[in-house]
Structure 1
């Protein structure tokens, strides 16, 4: 192994130790990483010069000179995350210490999602108070393992597209593309509703329905396209999906069929649409009835997925969050009825904690992967 590669790996080990276990003295970092104290001293010195770490006040030990705890500096290194969707785009900055620095959403309106996102992403990048080391893009569709090609995103009408190119040119950064549900699952596991579990299933709640599957803390990708649950043929058999087929689950439980069922126009983004429906559900019995039917359809699908995947928790994101008081009780009852093992083990149903920007936050986390695995120099 070359000297430069070894230096990157050792630096990454220090960053991971600080991120996962918190501030530590140089001696404690040496114990946590297995690196020599001299190596730790050189790495910490380099990171301090770059503004990536900070030193705290001296702590008196049992003997010798007082030690100074080292911690990751807020905004010392940043990842930029983006999401392109049918009716909205989002962008976020996450720092290497694990903090969400900023996140913003903009309605697409009559523009192109990619063009609107480019403007938003440049604006958010300009807010960065430290170096942005990478960028990630979340999309609602199938993404090839090359991290660049969107093989199929029917709701965006993309096929074999490379949306990262235009964004990379505008930002001056390499842009890695990934499925939106996968990235939202990562974000909820790192910052949100799935912090306390190792096995979780995340369901997007937008125009399409996708799943992010986390098993023992790692994404499940299958051969590359795992999680396309929105196209399981368990919806109403006469419901036409955006993919052109009949009976897909998302054609029954996606945002637009829900809005049609309650007679609500589409608002700027899925959360705003669902918030308007939630206000009506407080006072309109027909809306509550329509949501009960939706909750039942959700429950049947989740029961099927749970029988296969056995998650500890199922996190509902997107438009499901404002409607959780009406959806979760009904879906839970259906799961209890349909899941053979419900009396011994059943997942908890949870509303997502990160809202509409979960995928963008996950994309920003993903953008930091290079510095945390040693593949990107600091």
Structure 2
């Protein structure tokens, strides 16, 4: 397994062309499923002989495997074709999330199958040692000697520079610079990229969750911090500096509420987990999802909690109306603690959204709840780690 940095050939060279052709075959198998060599040639536009050489090399590397012969696909000379599929036996990617009150991990194989996922509460924000311990545990548990760890990703609630390594600003966890990437690299022994948590979760929802098949989607985190991930046709929209989606600090909601960033009036200070708990006089337990489940139980018994959640939903809707007017998403996926609260937040959010859309011609985006749980960002970080393979930057054969 090598990277472009290990090769002298530029993208336009013979070596670079071979890598790009290989990535075409890998992407086709991942996105469209198993196919014969003849079908892969049609899908990718490559010559059948080229596809045959690529598949042979990938098979030797245990990246693809032949399936049982069927009579449904016929090769050029009339012999039944043999479908090939991605193999999950050898190559893995690992994703992590470092958040205020928990750390998470997810391990994916090349087929996109989740091999392991877990979350652990932490005692304080930005607990890098807990994240490193979780990374080492996951490597021993899921990778071991039988697999190759291609790459890893770490999701954080903050701004990450375009080098996918340097944390520029993360007030809720107090971690900046490249130290986090270096610590995880040292623990795992593979390349590590760092990404915004909302971007990672949005990427996961687009490839595994509630936004699969949606061309234009917006993901809204539901943790202590509030951020957004913007997905267009399965790919993230990151903006000029890579900071797109930092919506938690828009001046929406209670103008007197103090935010973790030090300012007043941020959206996060009205709809973030700590803000919601302060409204109902409740303290946090373990993860945001576990806390929200208890809060939902209180709402079943206490009208005052129902009213407080309706106010939160209204504030959610106001912010989404602004974002919908700018981004025009088809679907908005709400994750984290919003999921257990469900319609208690979604119903008032829809009402506020309807009331604030400027023109009757505007279509209200469909509001959906995340299907991936607290591991969404870690899963997205693992999927993004594999993206270098499917882009041809990391060579498996």
With the shorter chain as reference, the TM-score category is over 0.9
Correspondence 1:66 to 2:80: yes
Q: How far is the alpha carbon of 1:343 from its aligned partner?
A: 5.8
Which consecutive aligned stretches of 4+ in structure 1 deviate over 3 angstroms post-superposition? 159-162, 341-344
Residues 30, 40 of structure 1: 8 Å contact kept:
yes
Deviation digits for residues 301-350 of structure 1 (CA, Å, limit 9, x no counterpart): 11111111110011101111111120001100111111123565110011
Match of 1:159, SS state, is coil
Task: Say if 1:148 and 1:162, in contact at 8 Å, map to a contact too.
Answer: no
How many angstroms apart in 2 are the aligned matches of 1:255 and 1:316?
Answer: 13
Alpha-carbon distance in structure 2 between the residues aligned to 1:317 and 1:56: 37
Gaps of 5+ in 1: none
**Which residue is 2:17 aligned to?**
6
Q: Distance in 2 between matches of 1:242 and 1:159?
A: 16
The 2-side partners of 1:216 and 1:196 are apart by 8
| SS of aligned partner of 2:395 | coil
Q: Distance in 1 between matches of 2:66 and 2:234?
A: 30
The equivalent of 1:23 in structure 2 is 34
Query: 1:161, CA displacement in angstroms?
Result: 4.7
- Give distance in 2, aligned partners of 1:220 and 1:27: 35
In the TM superposition, what are the counterparts of 1:94-133 in structure 2 within 5 Å? 94-110=108-124, 113-126=127-140, 127-128=142-143, 130-133=147-150
Query: For residue 152 of structure 2, what is the aligned residue in structure 1?
Result: 135
CA distance in 2, matches of 1:278, 1:75: 41
Could you tell me how far apart the structure 1 residues matched to 2:65 and 2:163 are? 36
Question: How far apart, in 2, do the equivalents of 1:342 and 1:249 lie?
Answer: 26
Render the CA deviation track for 1:102-126: whole Å, top value 9, x for unaligned: 2111111258521101111111122
Question: Within the alignment, does 1:175 sit opposite 2:189 as a pair?
Answer: no
CA RMSD of aligned residues (A): 1.5
Q: Do 1:91 and 1:361's aligned partners in 2 also have CA atoms closer than 8 Å?
A: yes
Normalized against structure 1, the TM-score is what?
Answer: 0.96
Q: How many angstroms apart in 1 are the aligned matches of 2:173 and 2:121? A: 15
- The 1:115–1:342 alpha-carbon spacing in structure 2 relative to 1, beyond 3 Å, is farther
The structure 1 residue matched to 2:221, chosen from 204, 226, 229, is 204
Q: Find the counterpart in structure 2 of residue 91 from structure 1.
A: 105
The structural deviation recorded for 1:233 is 1.0
Check conservation: 1:75, 1:101, Cα contact below 8 A: no
Name the residue aligned to 1:48. Answer: 59
Separation in 2 of the partners of 1:81 and 1:143? Answer: 16
**Structure 1 residues 1-378: aligned runs within 5 Å:** 1-60=12-71, 64-110=78-124, 113-126=127-140, 127-128=142-143, 130-223=147-240, 224-341=242-359, 344-378=362-396
TM-score, normalised with respect to structure 2:
0.92
Equivalent pair of 2:100/2:124 in contact (CA under 8 Å): no
Question: Structure 2 CA distance, aligned partners of 1:34 and 1:281?
Answer: 57
